[in-house]
Structure 1
Amino acid sequence: MSKSYYVNKNAQSNGDHEVHDQNCAGLPAIENRIYLGVHDSCHTAVREAKNHYTQVNGCKYCCPSCHTQ
């Protein structure tokens, strides 16, 4: 199922910019996120986010298959 994805403009303490789907409870405020488009999976959304930031990770809650430690 396709979803809209966003990347957080604010990095986590480890430097990661997290990718979230449209339904995530941790979705950043609108002024703190970049729209990545509609994707079939978090994997393509993470690839798109890497066009904006070098250090990107999937949210462990809404994108667990794209989250790395």
Structure 2
Amino acid sequence: MAYYYVNRNAQTNGDHEVHRVGCNFMPKPENRQYVGDHMTCGPAVREAKRFYAKANGCYYCSNACHTT
């Protein structure tokens, strides 16, 4: 299990990236929203989509859930 957070600030393409704790690209604490403790990134991205329609997995720490 890992803790996942979504970046409250969208990327230039409108995506709100979902990161696993320990990611080198984790947003600052004031810019992240906790989306749960999950086995994989899939449920974390689904949870993030409850808040942000354009949620996407981080290319580096949640690549299995990253779409281009």
Q: TM-score, normalised by structure 1?
A: 0.97
Instruction: For structure 2, list consecutive stretches of 5 or more residues without a partner in the other structure.
Output: none
Aligned partner of 2:21 in structure 1 is 22
Q: Percent identical across equivalent pairs?
A: 56
Q: What is the deviation of 1:56?
A: 0.8
Q: Which amino acid aligns with 2:40?
A: S
Structure 1 residues 1-69: aligned runs within 5 Å: 2-69=1-68
RMSD: 0.4
Separation in 2 of the partners of 1:29 and 1:52?
Answer: 18
Q: Deviations over 1:28-67 (max 9, x none)?
A: 0000000011001000000000111000110000001000
Give every structure 1 segment of 4 or more consecutive aligned residues whose post-TM-superposition deviation is greater than 4 Å.
none
Secondary structure class of the residue paired with 1:38 = strand
Q: TM-score, normalised by structure 2?
A: 0.98
Q: Which amino acid aligns with 2:37?
A: V
Instruction: For structure 1, list consecutive stretches of 5 or more residues without a partner in the other structure.
Output: none
Q: Which amino acid aligns with 2:35?
A: L
